[in-house]
A and B are shown apart, each in its own frame.
Chain A
Amino acid sequence: MLTISDHQFTSRLFTGTGKFSDQDMMLAAIKQSQSQLVTLAMKRIDLHTNHDNLLAPLQSLGVKLLPNTAGARNAKEAIFAAHLAYEMLGTKWIKLEIHPDHKYLMPDPIETLLAAKQLCDEGFVVMPYVHADPVLCRRLEDVGCAAVMPLGSPIGSNQGLATETFLKIIIEQAQVPVIIDAGIGSPSQACHAMEMGADAVLVNTAIASSAQPEKMAQCFAQAVITGRQAYEAGLGPVNRQALATSPLTGFLGQSV
């Protein structure tokens, strides 16, 4: 059981709601993923289009909502977005993401730390999206973040765990849950992240951009369960040399 702040999750696969071909497909995929925490963004209403009710069907799935601050370019805008989310959804849970760079969407560490401190002081349950920086993750933990969400590779890139070495350090040091966010492109990568000891993974693009999102969501669900079980079972040590799994008594040579 994974606990973040005062909330318990039986599923360690968190999902995003973006990039699906339509809302029905998104809902079907989330259902198959068994995710219990899903991310949302916020936008000014377009008065010239229909207002799809995104929330009611998500709430009917029984998932907890995690609004994000996507679009914020600095701490001030992210804090504003968190207040907006609280007013809109009545939740103090916030995925803090500040990325002024549109090409690679790299999170700004300085602005993220500033915003995290203020939002934690205001009682928000802050889950910051950050680069896989072990020092920054400790600083974010120190100011009261409920979890840290280091990236595996750039958002939406499906490049996998390019930051693996640093993710391992973060997992080793963290006293709060570590959720590997961004870049996980396949179930095997999600499984690997869980085998490394990540507390959860957040997957969006890899499911949404699959030819069969529902099936892929199931695959991720299975992979995350398997990876977690493998971590709990304890992986065997890695050796540089061969270590025989069968007795080397040389009996074949003796029979000649």
Chain B
Amino acid sequence: MSTDTRADEGGSLLARPLDWLETQSEEVYAYVLLAPAFLLLAVVAFYPLIETFRFSLLADAVASADPFGEFVGFDNYVALLTGDTNFTQQFVSISTTDSFPFVGFDAPFLQQALFVTLAFAILSVLFETLIGFGQALVLDQDFYGRRWVRVSIIIPWAIPIVIQGMIFFLLFNPTIGFGTEFMQWLGVFGDNPLSSSTDSFLIVLVADIWKTTAFMALLILAGLQSIDRGLYDVAKVSGASPWQRFRYITLPLVAPALLVAMLFRTMDAMRIYGLIDSTAGCETVPSLTCLVIIALQESRRWATASAVAFLTAVVISAFVLVYLLALRNSDGGVA
């Protein structure tokens, strides 16, 4: 019979635990099945997170075999936030001949990195929301070839980060790409955009908008399609213009989905690393994650790197809280 128990086929090695499992309550069964997932998460997420925090409370020991020194409490954080931490001369000397990280050349790196990360997150999410809304409105229509338009809008989202980086690296490479020439003609870019902080920031921003707008579009589209079509018919009969239908029906009803999408994108944008690393390089556009890697690899300051990493997590949590509060207010039905 096909519904033989697995215990019969699997031999005694598998049968014993399975038999034991049969006799347990549902609650024990639930915990047993959750064990592998939580084991994996514990090894890769919970334990490292706690360790990162513990490391961040230790002193840097740049020269010794063990990269961590004695316990120093929150000194690393204090040093980072007040700007006393000196990284090796990394990105002071190279870039910042222009005024982009408006905090000034000799400003502490953390401030530069914090500014770059926040500016990037806010600007990219803003543009992605606007353009994504446009794409979602297009995809919400019924037209011939809709499936293929959707495919081509999703494709940038699905490509590897390194290839996204490569496309924009080539596009703005002064010798082969036409991007630099075009932007210079507009009067925006300098001679070698990929080594100037301002220009590179714009390139990274555009690259990110190009790739991830599709994600926003899909989530907003899901929100759009959950709207009762009858509402539009009623509005049409009452003489509402398309703009009014958008303003008074679409926008309020899609707001919860929009906020969730923005929350996801903001979290993701705050982690920006790969795109920067494969186009302009971490020294030119220092994001928070870049700072972790620089502290780790260039100067072997593991404790400082841990502090920056934990600060990044704290900043992201702060954003998440803001969004969750906004969602609660908009009655998004979030538990």
Does chain A bind chain B?
A: no
